[in-house]
Structure 1
């Protein structure tokens, strides 16, 4: 798994609570589908089992909505790259059915991207995100 890279890019202009929520949503999505992202369960010295956590570091990078939209466009045409996005439409939806209905009437260029998650070959992900700073 060492040749894989996993990053999350968040809108630096979001309030902290929304940034944390967006990161959690994106991490959950990637953790579900990313082969070998999660490590095996581990046992402590007391014999208790702890569920496996990510084996990959997850840098949280900063951009703005426009930069994330640009990254989405670039990343969406890359083969063998898992891409998950989170939009203000999703953020404002209380139920998944509402989210699906709202997305069905919006063109991609109408969406406001608030976060994006990428999982792929290290060199590919670095090429796409290497110039972005860490979220602070």
Structure 2
């Protein structure tokens, strides 16, 4: 990674050029929604390109380091599960877009091996999704999620 990238100063950085939109099923309670969002956030952080994150470390006036945040907007929305399903299908067919999804089996299993077995035993068409995160060019993310209701 170049020093300019680490400092967030590379030429052409456009805050509005890319974005992250999380889409949660509208019937989730707050606790479940937070759990889904937490797992999706970790997945996004693990699999996104290096351009997602801003400067690291950030130093305050006392010299204490802070990890920093994503350099692009993050918006959390909600839709009915049937609409979430269509979004995931559409996002899978969109080049250059990172999709992190959260099938209901992720909530119903205890550990990674159980999850892998549960998913292997189901067809994708039979899965019910509780959430998804999309990361990519703002125009593509907006095309897919632009009319969704903000999570409140």
**Corresponding residue number in structure 2 for 1:48:** 64
Aligned partner (choices 122, 125, 131) of residue 138 of structure 2: 122
Q: Which runs of 5+ in 2 are unaligned?
A: 1-13
**Corresponding residue number in structure 2 for 1:67:** 83
Other structure's SS at 2:147 match: coil
Other structure's SS at 1:13 match: coil
- Asked if 1:37 corresponds to 2:52, the answer is yes
Q: Deviations over 1:68-104 (max 9, x none)?
A: 1110111111111100100111111110100000000
Distance 1:130 1:62 in 2: 12
Instruction: Report the TM-score, using the length of structure 2 for normalisation.
Output: 0.86
- Asked if 1:24 corresponds to 2:13, the answer is no
Q: CA deviation at 1:17?
A: 0.3
Aligned partner (choices 88, 93, 98) of residue 82 of structure 1: 98
Distance 2:68 2:47 in 1: 15
Q: CA deviation at 1:118?
A: 0.3
Distance 1:122 1:56 in 2: 10
**Corresponding residue number in structure 1 for 2:21:** 7
**Corresponding residue number in structure 2 for 1:132:** 148
Higher Cα Rg, which structure:
2
Instruction: Report the TM-score, using the length of structure 1 for normalisation.
Output: 0.96
Q: CA deviation at 1:52?
A: 2.3
Other structure's SS at 2:150 match: coil
Q: Which runs of 5+ in 1 are unaligned?
A: none
When the two chains are superposed, the root-mean-square deviation of aligned CA atoms in Å is 1.0
